Structure 1
Amino acid sequence: MCVFDFDQDLYVGATVVRPGQDPYARNKFNQVESDKLRMDRAVPDTRHDHCRHKQWKSDLPASSVVITFHNEARSALLRTVVSVLKKSPSHLVKEIILVDDYSDNSEDGALLGKIEKVRVLRNDRREGLMRSRVRGADAATAPVLTFLDSHCECNDHWLEPLLERVAEDKTRVVSPIIDVINMDNFQYVGASADLKGGTVFLTGIWCFKWDYMTLYQRRARQSKPIQGVLFVMDKDYFDLLGKYDMMMDVWGGEKPCLEIIPCSRVGHVFRKQHPYTFPGGSGTVFARNTRRAAEVWMDEFKNFYYAAVPSARNVPYGNIQSRMEMKKRLGCKPFKWYLENVYPELRVPDHQDIAFGALQQGGNCLDTLGHFADGVVGVYECHNAGGNQEWALTKDKSVKHMDLCLTVVDRTAGSLIKLQACRENDSRQKWEQIESNSKLRHVGSNLCLDSRSARTGGLTVEVCSPSLNQQWKFTLNLQS
């Protein structure tokens, strides 16, 4: 069946949100808004100007597109499939392999199997992302693998630049720039040129995050805005590298290092919660997966992981002998080499730090909220994945996030804390831990970091008191 002959209304209509039902309950995004959209809706062309006039090679290898899903909203899954077929040259997509990871309704995927080039594989039990992707990869017949999530929308000429890079060098693992699709109204937010892709150090090295770029990095990349999560790679190389760790469960700790291809853009719905369940609990599954990654890959640096996530020591991580043998067989370099040569910008605890990691207050953590210079900070549910919640208290008494520091602009009680570029010897940016490292006091004003106004404006400095709003704890204190 031609994709445009597919009956969207019949397919999506069978699972619409009924009056009185919570539109966020099933998918943790607004399913009502998702269901309103046509499967071939127009999306903004977010590519850089120079990409729109670029000519791509005509003799590129074809790809098998592997999409795994579990209880995905039918409208979102359908748009993903249609966008691949609509936005890709036909000869470059050999097949779309949908791997249904034991969804409650088998017809979510089975009905899409009627569409041209779509093959559907259904697991007979819940396997999780890694094992499902490997199953799809094993079934693929094209020389290149493309892995997408089930709530994506591909942009114009998204596939050609990815395939061209892999064709040039089969050892490359490449990713598009990811455009954020708003989970509430499904409008394109776009990708910020002030962000870059990286990996989280303390809570599982293979967990992808976004880092702020320094001013120098932003200037260097003005013509090539760089980010990415989803990826494309040569199928034989995927097999050679040992595929995914098949003993990792569901999700978490599986993301590889990527080369970002600026001319490729793919929209992605980012949710604040997982819509599916994790056997044993999401925290346990994430800790097990990331502990396996740390034990296999991080060498002596895994001690920082355990210092930051001490509870992980009590989570069984299974047998890693086969992964260690694979690492030796491939001649993989030590983790220290990775830090020095591949990602020297990665912030690692060092002798300049007094404390490092998340700054916790109960179940919430100090968070940049995505703000940049001169923005306020707040608190957000701790996600243990670094990013906006990664901070360091340095020996020069700065509380730093990348090249931004917590700054007291007005040294009076109730004034908002701002993020500003770190400056040496700026008294507005000097902090110290007091009362057994349970509070942060601003040196110049003797006021304490306080979250009482977090919901209405942002964090402030207030007269120090026993209030729980002033209780803060770093995940890793490097000095007593």
Structure 2
Amino acid sequence: INPVEDRGDRLLDGSKDDVDDSVLGSIREAIRLDKERVRAELDDVASAIDADIRNRMAKLKRKNEQFRQRLADLRKAATETTTAEETTEESTTATAKTTTGTTKTSSVTAKTSKTSTETTPTTTQQVTSKLPTPTGPGELGASVVVNKQLLDQRQLERFERGWKENAFNEYASELISVQRRLQDYRPKDCRNRKYSIEQLPNTSVIMCMHNEAWSVLLRSIHSVLDRAPPALLHEIILVDDFSNRPHLGRPLEDYLAKLGRVRLLRNKKREGLIRSRLVGASVATGQTLTFLDSHIECTNGWLEPLLQRIRDDRRNVAVPYIDVINEDNFGFFHVANERMVVGGFRWNTMSFSWQSMPQRIRQNLSSLAQPVPTPTMAGGLFSIDRSYFDELGRYDEGMEIWGAENLEISFRIWMCGGRIEILPCSIIGHVFRTRSPYSWGEGSGDVLKRNTIRMAEVWMDNFKHIYYRQFNNLLGDYGDVSDRLLSENGSTAIRFAGTWSTWGNSTRIGVIQSFRLVGGDAWCLDGIRRQGGAEVSLQRCHNKGGNQVWTLSQHGELIRETDCLHYNGRALTLVACQGYGGYGKYQSWRYEDTGDRQIYHPATGQCLTLRHTAAMSQPGLSVESCRERDQSQAWRLPEVLDLSDSSPDLSTDGPARAVLEPLMPNVVE
């Protein structure tokens, strides 16, 4: 044992043994040196931490200053834009000139045209000052969230006005470049495909608009111009449906004059989407026509796949894969191709609806890039051979404004030997709004019904009676369709049933009647829409259709017009249909013709029940535990719609009436 270490240990342990002064001094010196070394190391660490904190604080300060400067620039730009707009508005005299008779259009140039809204000349600098900077928010499709708390009074007024006039966040759109970059959302197989541009037909893009927001309209046009091969883009025809906003007058003409290849037509009176598209098609000279809305964004490589399918077969109608541009923040949201849906329609309202892709089609797809056949299309975005469009009879000019034209042309394409396909390699974003910002005046509420009846009269054979029963066969005035009937009869069209039977069907449409009689009367499921919302109840069967006509869709929805029978485990209600997944499970029902004939609710494992006691004046509805051989839970539903019958008798008084109105039960309470 080292005597020094031994004595030192004993000293530190509190030993009272004598220790030489020299040894004690050595120990004290060693301890002092150790303390100084540790203190120096701690000082170094503290200095390093302090320096790091100072650096981080400096960076945060610089970022904060940059943010404040950016915010000040945005506020200044917004103020200048507002001032320019107000100056233009104050110096503008809007005189909407309405003419009568047939639709007239005028080709407009930047120097000589006159519009339905005359404005004072605006310089190029003024027009450009309204545009967002080329780089900024929203790049690569990112969302732009506007914090209203940071807006001053004038900006807040612009924010609110944008929502009111457009039904989307125009303020957020104005912060985004009209030439913003987007990601490449295409499947990998699509990105690797090569197209022979010289062998593809060119196209005339027809874009119709009415009082569209400035930044949204320009972004739509730029996305077409910037992302289409010049050799394939023959022209853009912009049809202005009698807009009256100042920025769509001379400022728009000046801006378009700088772009080239954009032809502006102006309707002399309000015509609506259908006739405006016909106006554009009548002057188009491209080999194909591509119809687009005025609130879209085309992505890279959007045009070539559409034109390739038409080159493969001129009767192919090519529809892009439609993604969502959020109305609130203008974020570009891509829906994965694995979740692709196709177009369909609801029998009860004859309205377009998105539906899950049939399994038999999905399992035949070799890749995510393969075209997908679709029964119908939404109608806003598609490409078609121009001569084939003429052969089909174009749009029905007797239809008003918009609505049902997409189903009408979808039926016509399939029934006249054509084919509609959704192309995953062509992706276009679309701003979907929860309400329409446009006003059509009195009488516009019946437009959709009128258009749909015109379609049904021409293309649906006797199946039209299924739709007519929704409103007790009160057709009203739907105009003359004799010319459309002649067109259909003179074509090689196959029958309606022959077309739709290929897609499969398990739909039931008609009256839902309880087996149990109460007071000697038969009781039917009844749905009615009142001011406070839709109501579902049991009412005496009146055999007049209307409120007692229901659709049991192939997805198990019990639908009355646009509402679905909804049960969340507590209340049985009639609410807007939710679709598939999520809350849609509360609107899914199952029915079998055999056995107890129960209407079963899979989400809760219970059954729809007629409930009645002696104290009740009339029976009510409930959802209860399923019971065997209980007439209160037994229901008669119409047979599955037979689409193999080319000419079924589905009129109110026809012999096939049982298809829609099951026989009255023999059971009496």
* More contact order relative to length (CA 8 Å, sep ≥ 6): 1
Matched, 1:51 2:202: no
2:344 aligned with 1:199: yes
CA contact (8 A) 1:352 1:394 kept: no
Aligned-partner Cα distance in 2 for 1:45–1:87: 12
Match of 1:408 in 2: 603
Q: Per-residue deviation at 1:438?
A: 6.7
Q: Flag structure 1 segments of 5+ consecutive residues without an equivalent.
A: 380-388, 400-404, 410-427, 447-475
* Structure 2 counterpart of 1:156: 300
1:305 equivalent to 2:467? Answer yes
- The one-letter code sitting in structure 1 at the alignment partner of 2:626 is G
- Measured after TM superposition, the shift of residue 191 of structure 1 is 2.8
Q: Is the 8 A contact 2:321 2:423 kept in 1?
A: yes
Matched AA of 1:349: R
Aligned residue in 2 for 1:431: 608
Query: For 1:6 and 1:298, how far apart are their aligned partners in 2?
Result: 55
State the match for 1:441 in structure 2.
623
Secondary structure of 1:247 counterpart: coil
TM-score by length of 2: 0.55
Letter matched to residue 192 of structure 2: H
Query: Contact 2:322–2:427 (CA<8 Å) still a contact in 1?
Result: yes
Contact 2:401 2:447 (8 Å CA) reproduced: yes
What's the secondary structure of 1:200's corresponding residue?
strand
Question: Secondary structure in 2 aligned to 1:313?
Answer: coil
- After superposition, the Cα gap between the structure-2 partners of 1:184 and 1:365, relative to the gap in structure 1 and judged at 3 Å, is farther
Give distance in 2, aligned partners of 1:112 and 1:407. Answer: 58
Residue 284 of structure 1, aligned match among 446, 455, 460: 446
Task: For residue 275 of structure 2, give the secondary structure of its aligned residue in structure 1.
Answer: helix
1:53/1:326 Cα in 2 relative to 1: closer, same or farther (>3 Å)?
same
- Structure 2: 5+ residue runs without aligned partners? 1-108, 110-123, 133-154, 411-419, 514-549, 552-557, 566-572, 613-617, 631-658, 665-669
2:327 corresponds to 1:327: no
**1:369 matches 2:570:** no
Aligned position for 2:210: 70
Is 1:358 equivalent to 2:559 in the alignment? yes
RMSD: 3.6
Picking from 274, 285, 288, the partner of 1:130 is 274
The structure with the largest strand share of the pair is: 1
Displacement of 1:319 in angstroms is: 0.4
Once the two structures are TM-superposed, the CA of residue 202 in structure 1 deviates from its matched residue by: 1.9
User: Does the residue aligned with 1:340 lie in a helix, a strand or coil?
Assistant: helix
Q: Give the length in aligned residue pairs.
A: 409
Residue in 2 that maps onto 1:251: 402
Q: Corresponding residue for 2:55?
A: none
In the TM superposition, what are the counterparts of 1:7-46 in structure 2 within 5 Å?
9-11=128-130, 18-19=157-158, 21-46=160-185
Change (3 A) 1:106 1:254: farther
Match of 2:312 in 1: 168
SS in structure 2 of the partner of residue 408 of structure 1: coil
- The alignment partner of 1:224 has SS state of coil
Is 2:280 the partner of 1:145?
A: no
The 5-angstrom pairing of residues 390-401 of structure 1 reads 395=593
Matched, 1:186 2:395: no
CA–CA separation in structure 1 for the residues paired with 2:293 and 2:620: 41
Letter in 1 for 2:399: M
Larger radius of gyration: 2
Give, in whole Å, the separation in 2 of the partners of 1:263 and 1:20: 36
Moved more, 214-223 or 246-255: 214-223
Instruction: State the partner residue of 1:236.
Output: 387
Contact 1:287–1:315 (8 Å) recurs in 2: no
**Structure 1 residues 113 and 365, CA, compared in 2 at 3 Å: closer, same or farther?**
farther
Per-residue displacement from partner, 1:447-469 (whole Å, max 9, x unpaired)?
Answer: xxxxxxxxxxxxxxxxxxxxxxx
Tell me which residue corresponds to 2:256: 113
Question: Which of the two has greater helix per residue?
Answer: 2
Shift of 1:203: 4.8
CA shift in 2, pair 1:101/1:365, >3 Å = farther
Q: How far does the alpha carbon of each residue in 1:170-211 deviate from its partner, in whole angstroms, 9 at most, with x for none?
A: 111110010011111111222354342223142565x43200
Deviation at 1:302, TM superposition (A): 0.5
Pair 1:43–1:477, CA change in 2 (3 A):
farther
Distance 1:69 1:174 in 2: 22
Give the share of equivalent positions with the same residue, in percent: 33
Q: CA deviation at 1:224?
A: 2.8
Indicate how the Cα distance of structure 1 residues 49 and 268 shifts in structure 2: closer, same or farther if over 3 A, else same: same
Aligned to 2:433, the other structure's residue is in SS state coil
Select the residue among 226, 233, 240 that pairs with 1:93: 233
Letter in 2 for 1:376: Y
